[in-house]
Structure 1
Amino acid sequence: MECVFGLVGDGFALVVADTSAVNSILVHKTDEDKVMLLDSHKLLGASGEAGDRVQFTEYIQKNVHLYQFRNGIPLTTSATANFTRGQLATALRKSPYSVNVLLAGYDKDIGPSLYYIDYLATLHKVEKGAFGYGSFFSLSTMDRHYHSGMSLEAAITLVDQCIKEIRSRLVIAPPNFIIKIVDKDGAREYAWRETINEAEVAPPVEAFPEAGTITA
């Protein structure tokens, strides 16, 4: 029941993702970070099969770094989006990646931007977007309340509304979410929205009594 969504505001873009690592009916952890920092001014939120998601996002990150090392300048957000789409399109004809991504970035002369790229290599520049089962509720909430040029405070309020809808309406809702933003000051983690603390899930297991010891 993954969910990744994002939006563009006044001078910033943000990406929100659930933090559950699941396989079939099992939840392995609830603090998985699915929003990668590609470089100082880019974020990549991904959903999909865990192996594809990790491998593909790390591949994009390393190639973005390689381009900057070779050329001395970073890729723009638009160029990064087109490179990402190209890699998905190439893989689509060989061994497809089961991964969908939202790419958020900030460019000095352009400002914030958000790109929607799905596993079929569809690319769109958007002001708001979402993937996963939670998108049914986050997209409808953003359609109603989002407006261009939102302040950061208004955007975070909208994010909290989306998370509330996902938690209350999705049959099996992810408990924790991470919020990251990118603006002129760079890409960074902004906040977590938690209902489960990983440290509290599994209390310490008491040691078994020694062999031959009789306990009451």
Structure 2
Amino acid sequence: MECVFGVVGNGFTIVVADTSAVHSILNHKTNEDKIMVLDSHKLIAASGEAGDRVQFTEYIQKNVALYQFRNGIPLTTAAAANFTRGELATALRKNPYFVNILMAGYDKETGPSLYYVDYIATLHKVDKGAFGYGSYFALSMMDRHYHSGMSVEEAIDLVDKCIMEIKLRLCVAPQNYVIKIVDKDGAREYAWRQSVTDAGVIPA
């Protein structure tokens, strides 16, 4: 019942993911961070099988770091997204990863960007995107309220609308979410939205 979504605003990209680690009907964790910092100006948010998600995102992170170490310059967000897509396409014909990815980044030349990569190696550059059961509701809210050139405050308000709609509509909705942002100042955690832990029901 995962939910990962993101939007591009005016000079930044925001990515949101639930923090639930679920197996079958059991919720093992409520503080699993599914958004990895690839480098100083890139984020990769992933959904899918837990083992595939962790292994593949770490593999991408290490290879992005290796490229920068060997060449002295970082990959652009577009190059990192295409590399990720290539690795998924190669694995698809051998031992596929069941993982869906939103890659967010900021480049000096092109500004903020968001790339959608699914488990069958489809790659698209998008202004807004989502994966998981919550995507049905998040995409509906973004279709209605998203506009290009959003400020950070407008984007966070839209994120909160999406989260509230998911919690309201989805019968098995995740309760907690992590929000991360990437802009000219770098990639970093922006906030958490914690409903269950705030109520003291489940320890973080």
Q: TM-score range by the shorter chain?
A: over 0.9
8 Å CA contact 2:10–2:149 kept in 1: the answer is yes
What SS class does the counterpart of residue 60 from structure 1 fall into?
Answer: helix
Report the number of matched residues.
203
Distance between the aligned counterparts of 2:60 and 2:202, measured in 1?
A: 35
Distance between the aligned counterparts of 1:63 and 1:199, measured in 2?
A: 40
Q: Deviations over 1:150-179 (max 9, x none)?
A: 000000000000000000000101000000
Question: In structure 2, what is the equivalent of residue 76 of structure 1?
Answer: 76
**Shift in Å at residue 197 of structure 1?**
1.7
Question: In structure 1, what is the equivalent of residue 127 of structure 2?
Answer: 127
Distance 1:110 1:24, change over 3 A: same
Distance between the aligned counterparts of 1:33 and 1:199, measured in 2?
A: 20
Distance between the aligned counterparts of 1:106 and 1:52, measured in 2?
A: 26
What SS class does the counterpart of residue 193 from structure 1 fall into?
Answer: strand
Question: In structure 2, what is the equivalent of residue 206 of structure 1?
Answer: none
**Shift in Å at residue 40 of structure 1?**
0.3
Q: Which runs of 4+ in 1 moved over 2 A?
A: 198-203
Equivalent residue letter for 2:105 = G
Identity in percent? 77
Gaps of 5+ in 2: none
**Shift in Å at residue 10 of structure 1?**
0.1
Distance between the aligned counterparts of 2:192 and 2:41, measured in 1?
A: 20
Question: In structure 2, what is the equivalent of residue 63 of structure 1?
Answer: 63
TM-score by length of 2: 0.97
Equivalent residue letter for 1:192 = W
**Shift in Å at residue 196 of structure 1?**
1.7
Equivalent residue letter for 1:114 = L
8 Å CA contact 1:29–1:198 kept in 2: the answer is no
Gaps of 5+ in 1: 204-216
8 Å CA contact 1:42–1:77 kept in 2: the answer is yes
**Shift in Å at residue 201 of structure 1?**
4.3
Distance between the aligned counterparts of 1:165 and 1:196, measured in 2?
A: 16
**Shift in Å at residue 200 of structure 1?**
4.0
